[in-house]
Amino acid sequence: MPYLAAVFSKPDKSFNVRFIRELSREQYSEFEKTLAEFNKLHQRFSLLHILEQNFSALNLFLRRLCEDSSFNSYKAHSEANRHLMNYLSSGYALREHLEKAVKRDFGRKSKELFRFEGFIEYLERTSFEYAFLQDFRDYVQHCGFPVGEMQLTSDKHGKILTLTYSKTALLTDYKTRGKDAWSKSNLPNRHETEFDLIALVKKHHLVAMAEFSIIIQDFYGENLNRIEEILSGYDAEAKNIEPNAIAKIAMSVPPNPSNGRITFRDIPRNPFDLLGIFRKRISRNVVVLNYQLIEHDNYYDVRKCEVMGFHPEMTNLDYDPFPEAKNGDVVLRALMSRDLLLYAKLEAPVSLDLNLSTCLELDGHRFFIDKISMRINTDSDQALFDVEGSERKIYREPIKILAEFRKELAEKRS
């Protein structure tokens, strides 16, 4: 019969096994059932983990690009395309694989599939960033590379990298699907003329990570608390033997354990962490089910007319530092502010007074709520709140940016 065992190393690095208790047939059957449920959950959440890994790799690449003193535009452009294609592919897989899993696990006429299709429709209707990247993935898959224009500019405050695509180029190049080519994002009717790909990816990631985590838990996490309780219970028993011990299932025990061979089965440790699930009660009535934090930079575009015009309190130039630029052309893109964006899913009573004047404290940050919506569960007095908030970390007034730039240009002349 199998045994629950504590496996640990002593200071002399010797390998030690302590057999805690023998598992009955019923107890081992419970372990196998719990492990199977956890593995299915982990497989579904792996789609989110892959998306997160590709997002982190993209951000690391962008950060290193700004720190690189030997910028190679051709290599950088190629690598940016690679990272964006990886992210777009994992975003597409998240949706497609999960839809196939729901059809397989619950049936093509199930209420779960109906809910999933409604969930996707809701995301595309309420999040332009999610809808756009779904369409943009199709464009990249069938038509062109994801990076339209790449620019790396610098001033005394640091380097600024931008990845953009013009609306005209997207609509001109991608017509193979006719009127349905940009149907999710309704791109032809958008007012923007150019799209900031970095900003779009960041917001898409906030939405996808929070929303899909909840829907996966809804479909596959009915017994999530029980799974966590059982698996963490094994871990607690092992730590009662030795604080650094790991709980494992020993499938058989030889007559002389010190000389024989023992086959182990792993027990998942910290199930919520492995799944990437976060649950935290921040007040008596409010539980944070999931949240994402992402830094977002806002820029101020300085135009030539602002540099050349007379100003009574700024340095005035006696020459044209941009002779080839027109008055309306942007001659400097400067960092104006840096915000920490919050996208959270909260569970709270329907009667909770949560509004735009509320300040949400989480992980040492104070977020002012920018947007909030409530989804009511007709079977419960609890509701699901979608909250978007921000905390300002850096702010430079546009007037100061302009004054510093004019002074810098004048000093270069002298």
Q: What does the pLDDT read at residue 195?
A: 94
- Checking if the pLDDT of 395 tops 80, the result is yes
- Checking if the pLDDT of 52 tops 90, the result is yes
Residues 3-35: tens digit of each pLDDT: 999 999 877 777 888 999 999 999 999 999 999
Identify whether 156 is part of a domain: no
DSSP state letters, 379-409: TSSEEEEEEEEEEEEEE--HHHHHHHHHHHH
Domain count, the chain: 1
Q: What does the pLDDT read at residue 181?
A: 80
Tell me the average pLDDT across 46-68: 92
- Higher pLDDT pick, 199 / 282: 199
Contact 307, 409 (CB under 8 A): yes
Q: What does the pLDDT read at residue 349?
A: 87
Residues 111-131: tens digit of each pLDDT: 999 999 999 999 999 999 999
The Cα–Cα gap between 38 and 100 comes to: 19
DSSP state letters, 136-148: HHHHHHHT--S-S
Tell me the average pLDDT across 181-190: 90
Q: What does the pLDDT read at residue 39?
A: 95
> How many angstroms separate the Cα of 277 from the Cα of each of 45, 225, 401?
9, 12, 42
**pLDDT over 90 percentage in the chain:** 54
Tell me the average pLDDT across 335-364: 84
Tell me the average pLDDT across 129-145: 93
The Cα–Cα gap between 377 and 395 comes to: 40
Tell me the average pLDDT across 58-85: 88
Q: What does the pLDDT read at residue 303?
A: 92
Three-class SS of residue 332? strand
Q: 38-52, 151-165, 225-239: which range is least confident on average? A: 151-165
Specify the long-range contacts of residues 408-411, CB closer than 8 Å, at least 24 apart.
408/155, 408/156, 409/307, 409/315, 409/317, 409/321, 410/315, 410/317
Neighbour-count burial of 49, counting CB atoms closer than 10 A to its CB (0-12 exposed, 13-18 middle, 19+ buried): middle
- Confidence at 386, pLDDT banded by 50, 70, 90: confident
The Cα–Cα gap between 227 and 218 comes to: 15
Residues 143-167: tens digit of each pLDDT: 889 999 998 887 666 778 889 999 9
Q: 90-104, 125-139, 176-190: which range is least confident on average? A: 176-190
Contact 246, 269 (CB under 8 A): yes
> How many angstroms separate the Cα of 312 from the Cα of each of 199, 257, 315, 316, 403?
36, 88, 8, 8, 11
Identify whether 78 is part of a domain: no
- Confidence at 267, pLDDT banded by 50, 70, 90: very high
Identify whether 404 is part of a domain: yes
The Cα–Cα gap between 92 and 47 comes to: 10
Average pLDDT, the chain: 89
Q: What does the pLDDT read at residue 156?
A: 65
- State the residue range of the domain holding 319: 278-414
Q: What does the pLDDT read at residue 258?
A: 67
- Confidence at 179, pLDDT banded by 50, 70, 90: low
Identify whether 228 is part of a domain: no
- Confidence at 257, pLDDT banded by 50, 70, 90: low
